[in-house]
Structure 1
Amino acid sequence: MLFQVGGQGTRPTFFEMAAAQQLPASLRAALTYSIGVLALRRPFLHKVLDYEDEFFALLMMILEGHSLRTTDASFSESLYGLRRRAVKIAVNKDNTQMDSGDRLRLSGLEKHQKVLSVAFLVVLPYFKSKLHSIYNKQREAALQATLWGNDDASFGDVDYFDGGETSVARRGLLDPEASNWTRIRKRIEAIIGVCYPWLHAGNEGMTFAYQLLYLLDATGFYSPGLHALGIHVCRATEQELMDTSSRIARIRSRERERLRGPPWLKALQRVLLSCIYTTLDYAQTGLIAAVFFFKMMEWWYQSAEERMSAPTVYPPPPPPPPPKVAKEGIPLPPDRTICPLCSQKRANPSVVVVSGFVFCYTCIFKYISQYKRCPVTLIPATVDQIRRLFHDM
């Protein structure tokens, strides 16, 4: 199952290397999401989420070790048809100095390079994740200290209101080794909180520099880890892809020949090996399918949330019906420019907001001050509900 992103020759493109590097992060997110959904019905799976880093590191160690052993490539690199090759400098024998006649010679990975590759692919990311979590805890503790003061006691502690002195003294007297270990652990965590940002910034800066140089074709190493191991990632040839299956078959046949013990034990071991081989053969396809399924679910729920959170545009409501003239109210004159109260042309026209009818300001102010209602509709009103109209503006 290979994904070709393009390019010619044995040197992979930048996009192939970037896609191979980002695949483990997508795989972890997919597995975490899937286990989180299953944990809603199976609470015991919450223990897996509590040890998420260890669980994923163990899984990737199995996958990376198997992939490097059989294909000389990491788990994600093998999906893109890439292979790791050891870099050796072939020196021209006629001239002991480095010149244009010297060239790089690529060969298969040695055993120690495979072991170190697993360490760079699994162990270092695991420690980086742990350091990142410790740094986040230290940052939250520092933020809490700035808000509430530097106090280790919390509201849930029994001895909170006495400042925690009794509990601290009791713990120190009963278990001095535990208190010493606690102080050492807090000091180590404080050092990590101070040093981690600089280490992270340096690592990210070096990684960005190598990727930029690789994009500009100035180096053959995509990352500092590959440079430290002396490994180039190359695109596999057709012959190498064809020989992979035969190599895996030879490795498995040798493993079956090494089985020792009575016949029933050998049969049991063969069954276990067959189960392991089947799981490893379909692990790549299954995990990649899980990644695509996770991305599809993420897109689905994100689009659904966007549709639910999007403001709904409703049509404007119809205007309210015009107020009706009361039977006992003052009738309206035929000419709308005439004031119903004084039967003269309106001066300083003003409207009563509760009814919408327009009068002279002086007339309507006197009427509402006396009767507390609109003279046409008899709706209760106050002088504060009179509004001046300006036709000339």
Structure 2
Amino acid sequence: MAERGVHLTTAFTAEDRPSIFEVLAQGSLMSAVKPALQHAVKILATSNPAHYGVLWRRFDEIYAVLDLLLQHHFLARTSASFSENFYGLKRVGTDSTHPVHLGLLRRQHWRSLLLLALLPYLYTKLEKILARQRDEDDFSIRCPQSLMQKLYRAFLAAYPFVRMGWDGWVFCQQLLYVFGKVRTHSPLLWLAGVKLSYLTAEDIRNLGLKPTGLTLNPSQSIGEKLQQLVSTMVGGVAVSLSTSLSIGVFFLQFLEWWHSSDNQSTAKSLTSLPIPPPPIHLHNQDTSLTHIKVCPLCRKVRTNDTALATSGYVFCYKCIYVYIKANHRCPLTGYPSALQHLIKIYTPEG
């Protein structure tokens, strides 16, 4: 069976065309790097929210900028993304004789860069916005009366079908690629106008001979020198990132084990937050000195009691909802928190 499977993936494949296993492996590399970095940032933010909390709140933007620099560097110097170059692949346009070390053509370069770095960022932000809107609908925060609310509900209802259509397109493209009917395995490569191919010995030799340092020509204008200097600095940052990621890929298997189901109990015990001290009893001047349930935020008798799972404190629902949505942390302990950590408390009286 295994021999027949190998024959199926190679029977219709040209010599310079990678197999479906190679293209899927390089595609999953960056998707494994982001969760690893996100987990490291989460640990830093949990240990010191005051200093590293901004890294956690702005992780998507920071990662998008770093990914943009990294992919721009590899596309300009190797005609491939970071993961494609890691697997010895290159992007080839309509002109298959174009040297790899000169980078892609301008249009192909910018299309590839936008589809590699900008599109995943927009997709991540869209998923978070939709998740937040669903939470607000579950808590009945919005009243579906305005036109914008009706349009939003229509988009929310249509989005799963759009996502299903895209996933179906990707699956059909990969299936056709296996049987040699199409040049690319992904619609993103088709939109960029390129296909994947193996690096040849001549490509590797040219990449090794390509100069990487800063060489200023006295005949150049000040603008050209400044542009070359900025390009060299960006390239240096990208090289540092690529080197770090290349080393970090070695530890991805360990991180996968760390997040495995067999190790969840150990991971939770090592990364769990300390138990906060019990709250100080707060009393309103307008109430008696008996035990009154007072909200730590508004200092009034609590209404619609809601507990925050990350710290255990109880607030008014309106107070803690507005605070968590704006600050993403517990107002008393500073622990990173989100709207899904709000727990409604139901009493026998209500």
Q: Is 1:282 aligned to residue 240 of structure 2?
A: yes
TM-score, normalised to structure 1, is: 0.55
Cα 1:110–1:38 change in 2 (3 A) is same
Q: Deviations over 1:136-193 (max 9, x none)?
A: 2333344444xxxxx549xxxxxxxxxxxxxxxxxxxxxxxxxxxxx67645643431
Which amino acid in the other structure matches residue 42 of structure 2? G
Partner of 1:45: 52
Contact 1:84 1:231 in 2 (8 A): yes
Q: Deviations over 1:63-114 (max 9, x none)?
A: 11111111111111111111101136xxxxxxxxxxxxxxxx5646310110
Partner of 1:84: 91
Q: Deviations over 1:23-74 (max 9, x none)?
A: 1211110110111112233323221221222222111111111111111111
Q: Is 1:59 aligned to residue 17 of structure 2?
A: no
Q: What is the CA–CA distance in structure 2 between the aligned matches of 1:196 and 1:29, rounded to whole Å?
A: 24
Which amino acid in the other structure matches residue 81 of structure 2? S
Q: What is the CA–CA distance in structure 1 between the aligned matches of 2:176 and 2:255, rounded to whole Å?
A: 36
Partner of 1:130: 125
Contact 1:83 1:234 in 2 (8 A): yes
Cα 1:192–1:226 change in 2 (3 A) is same
Q: What is the CA–CA distance in structure 2 between the aligned matches of 1:42 and 1:65, rounded to whole Å?
A: 33
- CA drift at 1:290: 2.5
- CA drift at 1:201: 0.9
Contact 1:27 1:291 in 2 (8 A): yes
Q: What is the CA–CA distance in structure 1 between the aligned matches of 2:117 and 2:161, rounded to whole Å?
A: 22
Q: Which one of 17, 25, 28 corresponds to residue 11 of structure 1?
A: 17
Q: What is the CA–CA distance in structure 1 between the aligned matches of 2:239 and 2:219, rounded to whole Å?
A: 20
Q: Is 1:27 aligned to residue 26 of structure 2?
A: no
For the residue of structure 2 that corresponds to 1:40, the secondary structure is helix
Q: Is 1:112 aligned to residue 74 of structure 2?
A: no
Contact 1:77 1:83 in 2 (8 A): yes
Percent of paired sites with the same residue: 26
Cα 1:121–1:80 change in 2 (3 A) is same
TM-score, normalised to structure 2, is: 0.61
Structure 1 gap segments, 5+ residues each: 1-5, 89-104, 146-150, 154-182, 310-393
Counterparts in 2 of 1:359-374, with a 5 A limit?
none
Structure 2 gap segments, 5+ residues each: 1-8, 269-350
Cα 1:259–1:46 change in 2 (3 A) is farther
Which amino acid in the other structure matches residue 70 of structure 1? R
Partner of 2:215: 253
Partner of 1:195: 158
Partner of 1:220: 183
Which of these two proteins has the greater Rg computed from alpha carbons? 1
Q: Which one of 189, 192, 206 corresponds to residue 229 of structure 1?
A: 192
- CA drift at 1:134: 2.3
Cα 1:198–1:112 change in 2 (3 A) is same
Contact 2:78 2:90 in 1 (8 A): yes
Q: Deviations over 1:335-365 (max 9, x none)?
A: xxxxxxxxxxxxxxxxxxxxxxxxxxxxxxx
Contact 2:73 2:235 in 1 (8 A): no
Contact 1:135 1:196 in 2 (8 A): no
For the residue of structure 1 that corresponds to 2:127, the secondary structure is helix
Cα 1:141–1:300 change in 2 (3 A) is closer
Q: Is 1:139 aligned to residue 173 of structure 2?
A: no
For the residue of structure 2 that corresponds to 1:233, the secondary structure is strand
For the residue of structure 2 that corresponds to 1:84, the secondary structure is strand
Partner of 1:293: 251
Contact 2:89 2:199 in 1 (8 A): yes
Q: Which one of 58, 67, 80 corresponds to residue 73 of structure 1?
A: 80
Q: Deviations over 1:239-291 (max 9, x none)?
A: 101211333438x4369985739xxx99xx96x87765443323223113334
Count, aligned residues: 248
Partner of 2:116: 121
Which amino acid in the other structure matches residue 287 of structure 1? L
Partner of 2:284: none
Q: Which has the higher contact order (CA 8 A, sep 6+)?
A: 2
Q: Deviations over 1:185-210 (max 9, x none)?
A: 64564343123212211111101111
Contact 2:69 2:234 in 1 (8 A): no
Which amino acid in the other structure matches residue 225 of structure 1? L
